Amino acid sequence: MDTWTSPYVTAFIDVTAHFMNEPHKPTSLLLGLCEIQNPLSTSFRDTILTNTFHALYMNQEIQSLCPAYTTNTQSISCIAYTIHLEARDGLKALGNVSSDELDPSISSDTMAITNLVSPSDGLNLKYDLIITHIGQLASYWHQSPQRHEKFITTVKLVYESSRPTHATMLLSHVPACWNSTYDMLNQELTLKEAYNQFNSLPSLASYQLTVLEWDKVRFMVDFLHPLYEATQIICGEYSLTIKHSFPLYIMLLKRIRKESNQYDIAPMEEAISAMQQKLSKNLQLLLQKTLVICTSILDPCFKLKFLLVHEETLAHFGTTENQCLLNFKEQANKHFKYPPDNSSKQTSMNKHSEVGSFDDMYPSSSLEDNTLETELD
């Protein structure tokens, strides 16, 4: 069970259940909304949960309520939640970075005449304040149906037929929700023209972002994008098995180490180091399980999925995913099939084993087109 609160709309708290449905797809269900009338303490949270369960006649189904601080820290934590904490740590470090510490190459408009004549109004604005401004403006347009409809209508007029797909409204930021900050900032960049047009009004002038501040928004989106991609893989069509968690940790560690070279900023280096330590700790716990090593070596599905997502790797080696699949099958069949002179031994062993060739385990029809994507997810 989770309780989510918004920093911009503090009049309510919602209780959400996360579970796996019958097709093994992660699902969220809103159980109730409660007004906040007391300080948000642990006892108040427990009261909200108890009242919500009682209203839904769920009291008999709940065995116990376990606060977060009493959980077993020696067990493998949820990888999605670990990624969420990494994103929070990174953004917290960004909040301590001043504008003069940034690499000038990050901004595409640093040589603009306006910046040469006078400093930008948002020169000393911290990253956390930018997130706050965007979140407050999103809440402003969500406060009434009339404002909501006005914003959507303006978006359609600004973009006309070139309007971005599925982008009609600003998104609010909920710290407890995975990818919430990334979704809000990325949507902001998508609707940048509509955002600037509305903020040209005198009543909303305080929410206007300068060129440098827009560069900071893009910087945060680029920083959070690898973590967003990892969470999307985790919350795919099927639940993430333990054998898939292992290569996912490896991929994240390599990606973080690669991109950390471009951040020559002390707070960012500390945040990235902390992110690597959290991932390494979970990876060490995974390596204690023999099943993880065996299944990751024998199953090529996750490797093929990685190649399909990172097409630049295929281009670098001058090959295709189909050729990779053929190579996997050829190498695997060498291990699954026995030499001709050991035919009697093979017949004897087959009586006690149902292991066949790679073609039997992974037929070509199951590793093509949409079937491949479904199986790998």
Q: Could you give the strand order of the β-sheet that contains 2-4, starting from the edge strand earlier in sequence? A: 2-4, 12-20, 26-35
Residues 6+ apart with CB under 8 A from 301: 362, 367, 375, 376
Judgement on whether residues 251 and 233 belong to the same structural domain of the protein: yes
CA distances, 36 to each of 11, 12, 39, 62 (Å): 6, 5, 8, 23
Judgement on whether residues 231 and 82 belong to the same structural domain of the protein: yes
Task: Indicate the pLDDT class of residue 111, thresholds 50, 70 and 90.
Answer: very low
Domain end, chosen from 255, 290, 325, is at 290
Write down the pLDDT at residue 237: 47
Comparing C-alpha atoms, which of 138, 122, 121 is closest to residue 195? 138
Each residue's pLDDT tens digit, 30-43: 788 777 766 667 67
Pick 6 or 185 by higher pLDDT: 185
Judgement on whether residues 252 and 338 belong to the same structural domain of the protein: no
Number of domains composing the chain: 3
How many Cα atoms occupy the beta-carbon half-sphere of 104 within 13 Å? 4
Write down the pLDDT at residue 17: 74
Helix (H) or strand (E) holding 135: helix 127-142
321 and 112 Cβ atoms separated by less than 8 Å = no
Evaluate if residue 240 carries a pLDDT over 70.
Answer: no
Q: What is the mean pLDDT of residues 328-342?
A: 56
Task: Indicate the pLDDT class of residue 4, thresholds 50, 70 and 90.
Answer: very low
Judgement on whether residues 29 and 97 belong to the same structural domain of the protein: no
Task: Indicate the pLDDT class of residue 2, thresholds 50, 70 and 90.
Answer: very low
Q: State how far the Cα of 219 lies from the Cα of 106, in Å rounded to an integer.
A: 7
Judgement on whether residues 285 and 304 belong to the same structural domain of the protein: no
DSSP 167-191: --SPPP--TTSTTHHHHHHHHHHHT
Write down the pLDDT at residue 162: 58
Judgement on whether residues 50 and 85 belong to the same structural domain of the protein: no
17 and 31 Cβ atoms separated by less than 8 Å = yes
Judgement on whether residues 97 and 64 belong to the same structural domain of the protein: no
Task: Indicate the pLDDT class of residue 241, thresholds 50, 70 and 90.
Answer: low
Task: Indicate the pLDDT class of residue 158, thresholds 50, 70 and 90.
Answer: confident
What sign does the dihedral 263-268-270-276 (CA atoms) show? negative
* Domain boundaries, position 305: 299-377
At 233, the amino acid letter reads: I
Residues 6+ apart with CB under 8 A from 376: 301, 302, 304, 305, 308
Judgement on whether residues 202 and 281 belong to the same structural domain of the protein: yes
Judgement on whether residues 19 and 122 belong to the same structural domain of the protein: no
Write down the pLDDT at residue 109: 37
Judgement on whether residues 336 and 272 belong to the same structural domain of the protein: no
Judgement on whether residues 265 and 362 belong to the same structural domain of the protein: no
Q: What is the mean pLDDT of residues 327-347?
A: 54
Output the average pLDDT for the chain.
64
Domain end, chosen from 54, 71, 88, is at 71
Judgement on whether residues 99 and 67 belong to the same structural domain of the protein: no
Domain end, chosen from 257, 290, 323, is at 290
